[in-house]
Structure 1
């Protein structure tokens, strides 16, 4: 069975992005060690991404092209993607993310990366569909922005697997 993993960086107060959906605060830090020690080994095992429309749009703006063109990318949106954002490996879906994840988990392939956070991550945690949280904490307090976790109906218990420091970042890995 494929693993479902959230992988991403947050501020010390739990924000993925600032209130304007910007990651400028994150790019102020030298992330070479995090990339080498965390991201590079992680991405080798990923075959599918799932993200919301806002995250997808932000990634395209950031990198100037459709990201992760070597894997399947599921974009959750009720509105059609612009033609320039559509590619063979980009699959738009408006159905429940829980149904999609259940289907993908039992299919053949590499791990499934949940890109982004907030509602998406919270819903998958609430339904026990996330296997791993790998979170890099940056030494900044934003005070406001886009949270990694929204309110959950019931507590979820994870087990800490590892904690490592890479430059100014702390990488935490939790298993359900």
Structure 2
């Protein structure tokens, strides 16, 4: 069965983005090592991405070309997106993920979105979390984990240092690798 994975960087105090939804604080780092040794091995097993509308809009504000053109891409939104690169979905994330997990294919990457990640954790639909932590303390912004109503336990399966980043990989307890 397909695995659902979160992969992304956060500040030391747990923020995905600053209070302006910006990632500028993250771009000051030389990330070539982490891209080669962490991201590239991760992305090779991904054929589907899921993100929220805010993440999609933020991503498109940083680039002229959609970066995940070799995958099937879902954006959770109330309004259709006019792009042949993404599929707009207006449905609960847990229903979308449950249906995607039942289809054949490679792994599914949940990109950004603390609400999405937290909802999937609540429904035990995230199989692994691969989090890169920077030494920045932002103080406020968009948290990776928002309101989670059920506790979940993850096992640390790997950790690596890449310059100022620590790359931690956790697997949901009871999930298979």
TM over 0.5: yes
Specify the SS of the correspondent of 1:64.
coil
Aligned to 1:70: 70
Gaps of 5+ in 2: 173-177
| Residue of 157, 164, 168 corresponding to 1:161 | 157
Equivalent residue number for residue 109 of structure 1: 105
Q: Cα distance, 1:117 vs. partner?
A: 2.3
Unaligned runs of 5+ in 1: none
> Within the alignment, does 1:121 sit opposite 2:113 as a pair?
no
Pairwise CA distance, 1:155: 1.2
SS of match in other structure, 1:27:
coil
Please give the residue correspondences for 1:144-159 in structure 2 after superposition, counting only pairs within 5 Å: 144-159=140-155
Task: Say whether residues 1:48 and 2:44 are aligned partners.
Answer: no
Question: Residues of 2 paired with 1:149 and 1:114: CA distance?
Answer: 13
Distance in 1, Cα, partners of 2:98 & 2:89: 14
Distance 2:66 2:40 in 1: 19
Instruction: Give the secondary structure class of the aligned counterpart of 2:47.
Output: strand
2:121 alignment partner, SS class: helix
Deviations 1:52-76 (A, max 9, x none): 0010011111122223011100000
Q: CA separation in 2, counterparts of 1:63 and 1:110?
A: 26
Instruction: Give the aligned partner of residue 91 of structure 1.
Output: 87
Task: Specify the SS of the correspondent of 2:73.
Answer: strand
Is residue 2:124 matched to residue 1:133? no
Using the TM superposition, give the Cα deviation of residue 90 of structure 1 relative to its aligned residue in structure 2, in angstroms. Answer: 1.1
How many angstroms does 1:79 deviate by?
1.3
Cα deviation 1:129-148 (Å, max 9, x = unaligned): 00000000011000000000
TM-score (norm: length of structure 1): 0.95
Question: Residue by residue, what CA displacement relative to the aligned partner does 1:3-60 show, whole Å, maximum 9, x if unpaired?
Answer: 0000000000000000000000000111111101110111111000000001001111
Q: Stretches of 4+ moved more than 4 A in 1?
A: none
